[in-house]
Each structure stands twice: as C-alpha cells, then as structure tokens.
Amino acid sequence: MELEFYGATQGVTGSCHILRANGHTILLDCGMIQGTKQAEAYNKSPFPFKTKEIDAVVLSHAHIDHSGRLPLMVKLGYKGPIYTQNATKDLCDILFQDAAGLAQRDAEYQNKKLRKRGKKETIEPLYDKRDAKIAFERMQGFRYRQKHEILPGISVCFQDAGHILGSAMVELWLTEDGITKKLVFSGDIGQYDTPILNDPTEIHEADYVIMESTYGNRLHRDRDLTAQEIGEIISSARHDKGNILIPAFSIGRTQEVLYMLGTHYNEWELDRWEVFLDSPMAIEASKVYWDYPHLYDEEATRLRRQIHEMPKLQNLHLSQSVEDSQAINRLKSGAIIIAGSGMCNGGRIVHHLKYNVSRRECHVIIVGYQAYGTLGRRLVNGEETIRIHGDEYFVRAQIHTVGGLSAHADQKDLLRWAGGFKPRPQFFVVHGEDESKLAFNHLLIDQLGAKSMIPEAQQIVKLN
Ligand SMILES: [Zn+2]
Ligand SMILES: [Zn+2]
C-alpha cells in the first residue's frame, strides 16, 4: 500500500494524489493548476502515470482545481469510472463544459496569432466539449454516508465536507493481505456555520489522513462581524454613488453571497440596488443548488419551507448573453455585480473591473481565496496599478477582503476537525502555501501530539 503525492503539494491548486493498494491504482482528484501563466501551462504537461494504469478515480468535489483535468485523462485514454457525490456529478457537467469551451476559445486565439505570424503549426485545446461529456458520463454518483466497494479490497464512503454543494471528505478502507487500513482524504474542508451547507462531518477513525491546509496559519473573522462588514460596505457604496463588484467562484461562493443578500435584504436596504448575477455558469450552478434541498443545513431548510424556495432577491437580474453583460457597463452606480472568475484571472469580472476599478466611488468585495499570481491577489495585496488585456489601470476603487465568507475552514476549524480523530492518525499536510502548511503541520504535532508530515511533490509514502 502506498501513496504518491502529485498535485497540491506546492500550493493550493491542482489537487491530485495516487493511491496503490491490493494491486490497484486509484487517483484521488485530478485538478487543474491555477495561478500564473507559467503555472497554468503545466496543465498541458503529461501526467506522471499512464492513464491506462488507473483503475478508478475518486473525486472529492467539483471545484476545477480538484476536477478540471479529468476530461484530459479521458482524452488520453482513461476508460475507468470516476466516483463522486451525486451533486458533484451534476456540477461537473456544467464545469467541464465551461472549461472545455474556455480551452477551445484559448486555442483558437493562439492559432489566430500563429497564423498572423505566418506559422503553420496549430495548438490543440487542452480538451474539447466531447471529452468533457465523456468524462461526465464516466462519473458515478453516490450519496453521502454510504459505503461502496469500488474495487476488490477497496471501499469508499463520502462524508459531507460542508465546503460547496456535494463536497466530500472521502473515507477509504484498503485491504491487502488480510490487513485493512483506513485512509481519509479531507478534500477541501468547509467552515463551520456556513450558509446553506451543513458543518463539516467529524470523522473519528483513521490510520492516515491527507489534509488540506489552505488557511492553516490564519483565522477568519467571525461570521456575524463579516455580515456586519458587508452591510457597512453596501451602505458606504451607496453613499459614494458607485457600483459594487463581487468576484465569486461560480460554484459555492456565488450561491452563498446570493443567499446572504437574500437573508439581509431589508437590513441592507437592497431595494435601492440592482443585483446582477453575470455568469451563465453560476446561473446553471445555482439551479443545481436549488435541486438538492436535502443537502441544506437547518436554517436554509427552514427558510425554504417558509417561502417554498431559497430566499430570493426581487431585483436579481440573471445575465446570460454577452449583450446582457455589456449592458451592465453602462451603469455608473447602484449595481451589485457578481461575476466570475473568482480570482479575477478571466471571465466577465475582468470587464467589469476595467469599467470600475479606477473609480474611487466603486467598491470591490473579495470573498474567496486568491491564488498567488492572479489578478485578484494583486488587488488584495493593494497594488496601485493592474494590467487588464494589456492596458494599465489605476486601482482607485476600495478593495475589501472579507475573510469570514471563505469556503475553507480556518486554522481553528481545521484543528477542531483534525482533533476529532482518536487515536491520532498519521497526517499528510497538503493543499496550502508553504507558510500555511508549515504552521499547521506544527500545530498537529505540538497541540494534538499527532504524527504529521508535509509531503514533497512526487514523494512516495508506504502505508503499513
Ligand atoms: Zn474547493
Ligand atoms: Zn481546493
């Protein structure tokens, strides 16, 4: 039995690990790398394994940095199953199509540039919509809390991670030569008391735990204070007569922001605003959210019963077409614009930034994690100018980083979850920038008295 750490060992994105047990090879996640152009170029590099050697893929959740290279695996000849939670499967259908569309458009753009320079070579997209469809068809959805034997000697069970809809911590029981070891793959761990979703499930037994550490060195602001802060930003933006931009991941953040706006509609006087959800993918993903009410937490379930649906904004506009999106640019004030991508490294939010980022009266609310090298990270870092589509823009809008809305558990929550295991398992700390991993690894050793290590990329660890 062995684990080979491959992705999300240097940074947060590109989650992917290889598990070998009882003669089988299983891939845990197969995510896209996100960040700088150089880092993203790595998505095209070959896998460190032969796709045909993989017997099964187990996917923790839909986020593209965990799932996005699955259509590429299919394109390269992977014919096996992809096991995941039901809602994740539905979300991946939307995500894969979107990622394929982006890859195709990107390749077309590159090819146009090559032809202009008189070059004959052509660039192939990372994968196309057909690969995306086949990858989706390979997916087999399971419910939470049900144990399934996926290969002889290997069983899995998905537990609610409370991170996004369908997100799971994966329990794996591995039996080899009559000995069973239990591995838990944390995926991404949600915050406790997050809107809509349940708290992360506490798991008590494991021999080994692969654990994320995105916020392993930081604490989030209290959720009530965060709500209060957003309320204050909205009121000062109204006073300033500007717009509010909220870059948000289409899956997860967007639905939570909408839910929060819905539950605080009167308190935040949102009738004075027009709210735009400017993202066809986020609109699709929101529909999946509304399709799975049995996965909601108590509050969302109660609200849903009271008004027969999720708290809904009366002045919410769903912008599907490019024309709808461009029309928003004519509004100089009174618009709350929610658009992707979540880290501002593409998508419609970039266009809205062009129109608003140099205006003092405008506000940008950052609600999610911003990876190193992304435009969002530059905004968070307070850079005075940013480059968009080759042009320089002064950052005069007010940038607010609202930590309490993160989809990830903070240091305290991570430690709480890790402390649920008794006796202490061996931890492998992944999915974090160096400082977070180091800090959290220390805590696991010092405070919990657990064995813990930070695996290197391509490091192989024997489980026995
Ligand atoms: Zn995630
Ligand atoms: Zn992640």
Read off the DSSP letter of residue 75: H
Distance CA 121, CA 103 (A): 17
Radius of gyration of the chain (CA): 22
Asked if 125 and 258 sit in the same domain, the reply is no
Of 358, 380, 405, the position where a domain reaches its end is 405
Q: Which ligand is nearest the CA of 407, by number? A: 1
Q: Which ligand is nearest the CA of 161, by number? A: 1
Asked if 50 and 178 sit in the same domain, the reply is yes
Q: Which ligand is nearest the CA of 406, by number? A: 1
Asked if 381 and 416 sit in the same domain, the reply is no
Asked if 458 and 344 sit in the same domain, the reply is no
Q: Which ligand is nearest the CA of 252, by number? A: 1
332: CA distance to ligand 1 center in Å? 33
Cβ–Cβ < 8 Å for 129, 97: yes
Asked if 311 and 416 sit in the same domain, the reply is no
342: CA distance to ligand 2 center in Å? 13
Give the pLDDT mean for 109-137. Answer: 94
Asked if 6 and 94 sit in the same domain, the reply is yes
Domain with residue 428: its CATH number is: 3.60.15.10
Q: Which ligand is nearest the CA of 8, by number? A: 2
% of the chain exceeding 70 in pLDDT: 98
Asked if 214 and 286 sit in the same domain, the reply is no
For the ranges 181-185, 262-266, 324-328, 403-407, which has the lowest average pLDDT? 403-407
* Nearest Cα to Cα of residue 321 among 350, 280, 284, 351: 280
- Backbone φ and ψ for 145, nearest 5 degrees, come out as 65, 20
Asked if 108 and 141 sit in the same domain, the reply is yes
Count of structural domains within the chain: 2
pLDDT reading at 369 higher than 90: no
Asked if 205 and 88 sit in the same domain, the reply is yes
Q: What are the structure tokens assigned to 385, written together?
A: 């100018």
Highest mean pLDDT among 36-50, 115-129, 197-211, 283-297: 197-211
399: CA distance to ligand 1 center in Å? 23
Distance CA 447, CA 134 (A): 46
Q: Which ligand is nearest the CA of 13, by number? A: 2
- Dihedral angle of Cα 117, 122, 126, 129, to the nearest 10 degrees: 110
Of 385, 405, 425, the position where a domain reaches its end is 405
Q: Which ligand is nearest the CA of 33, by number? A: 2
* Nearest Cα to Cα of residue 58 among 176, 141, 144: 141
Domain with residue 370: its CATH number is: 3.40.50.10890
pLDDT digits (tens, 9 = 90+) for 160-200: 999 999 999 999 999 999 999 999 999 999 999 888 999 99
67: CA distance to ligand 2 center in Å? 10
188: CA distance to ligand 1 center in Å? 5
Asked if 194 and 131 sit in the same domain, the reply is yes
Of 360, 385, 405, the position where a domain reaches its end is 405
pLDDT reading at 304 higher than 90: no
Distance CA 416, CA 94 (A): 33
Distance CA 281, CA 277 (A): 10
62: CA distance to ligand 2 center in Å? 9
Asked if 204 and 246 sit in the same domain, the reply is no
441: CA distance to ligand 2 center in Å? 18
Give the pLDDT mean for 349-372. Answer: 94
352: CA distance to ligand 1 center in Å? 25
For the ranges 35-39, 172-176, 227-231, 250-254, which has the lowest average pLDDT? 35-39
Domain encompassing residue 309: 223-405
Model's pTM, two decimal places?
Answer: 0.91
Asked if 431 and 384 sit in the same domain, the reply is no
